[in-house]
Structure 1
Amino acid sequence: MKNVVITAGKGKCSQKGVLCQRGKKSITLIENNIVIKIPSNSITAIRKQAGRDSLDED
């Protein structure tokens, strides 16, 4: 598992966690023992730190 931290949304819709699974329909994050599933169609961008491994394609 790659340690990719994802932060999404603002205010009450804000989600942050470590990427633990990526599928065609959703991604799954874990933060403080809470599992967060985000539908792929609600993702508009993924930003990562330069110099890290690229995200693998399905």
Structure 2
Amino acid sequence: MTPQSAEIRKKHLIHLLIQNGIYKKSTRHLYELSLMELEREYQTLSGGARACQSVK
């Protein structure tokens, strides 16, 4: 992954997390997190959403 594509991916993940009401992780702002941390946070969010949908 090129540095440019990694930065684009980070911005996209930050946008998705903010849309879902997540602005910080603990005391750190999203823009301070690494790409891997953002990916994990989004996977947690997505997994939780899928779990709720399967209950219905």
Q: Which has the larger radius of gyration?
A: 2
TM-score where L is the length of structure 1: 0.21
- Which structure has greater strand proportion? 1
The structure whose residues are more often helix, as a share, is 2
> TM-score of the superposition, structure 2-length normalised?
0.22
Considering Cα pairs closer than 8 Å and 6+ residues apart, tell me whether 1 or 2 has the greater RCO: 2
